[in-house]
Structure 1
Amino acid sequence: MSYTFKKEERLCSKRRIDGLFHNGSSFVLYPYRIVFTLAEPAESTASVPVQCILSVSKRRFKRAVDRNFIKRRMREAYRLQKSFLYDFLHEHSLHLLVAFQYVGKEKLPSAQLHQRMLQVLGKLKDESSKLYLEMDH
């Protein structure tokens, strides 16, 4: 598993982003709010099981420097730990669309963001397996 975050893994399509926020399920695991949905296999990029978008609120962090700093840290945490989720999704040939939103009020240490991201990916795995089971029945 390579620890990269390529263009194909980023969610860029306006139509798919709108679909994610209108039809997706969500949960909060401080400092993240996660919105996710199963993507149709036909419309998803076959090579990557997850397409995601990262965002930080402009209302909470006025300066772009701060928003970019937090996004960089979130990307790093996701990039290093995504294999945990990817293995499960490859196994069941599932495709997810995910939005990671930072809802914290202050910048948290990198170690804490990494630890929370691991918990988030674990919960995403559980939730997507529930969706998978519902889909089968």
Structure 2
Amino acid sequence: MAFSYPKKEKLKSKKLIEKLFSEGKSVSIYPIKLIYLPTMLPEEVKVQCGVAVAKKNFKSAVQRNRIKRLLREAYRLNKAVVFNNTKGKFAFLFLYLGKEIPSFKGLEPKMKLLLEKFNTLPHE
């Protein structure tokens, strides 16, 4: 369980994703922006998370998919930061804002910083 990212934690609901963009609050550490929204989720899940990369910046689907894979991996390794320190349930959407393909070594520390920054915010 420590480093898993099971299906039930993946953000799939179109309604919830639309609500995130319309009502969600955001926090960012370049090149990642986190849009979050306190929400109702199934009992056993604290956070549902999705990732997105702008088609405007990366025309190639292969490049977008690679960046999304890196974002998911960075989140998976650092999600304990959020799970252990927050009360309530959230929907997360990570947006990649950069214009070049990142390396995992560059992305992972930024993800950690972003999740720690999220923890310092008031959440109600």
TM-score normalised by L of structure 1: 0.86
Letter in 1 for 2:15: R
Which entry has the higher C-alpha Rg, 1 or 2? 1
Q: CA RMSD in A?
A: 1.1
1:116 aligns with 2:110: yes
Structure 2 counterpart of 1:131 = 123
Name the SS of the counterpart of 1:35 in structure 2: strand
> Residues 67-117 of structure 1: CA distance to partner in whole angstroms, max 9, x if unpaired?
01111111110001101110112xx3x101111000000012211100000
Structure 1 or 2: more helix by fraction: 1
Instruction: Find 1:56's aligned residue among 53, 56, 75.
Output: 53
- Aligned-pair identity in percent equals 35
Q: 5+ unaligned residues in a row in structure 2: which ranges? A: none
Name the SS of the counterpart of 2:55 in structure 1: coil
- Give the number of aligned pairs: 124
Q: 5+ unaligned residues in a row in structure 1: which ranges? A: 133-137
TM-score normalised by L of structure 2: 0.94
* Deviation >3 Å, runs of 4+: none
1:68 aligns with 2:74: no
Counterpart CA distance in 1 for 2:44 and 2:117 is 23
Counterpart CA distance in 1 for 2:91 and 2:113 is 18
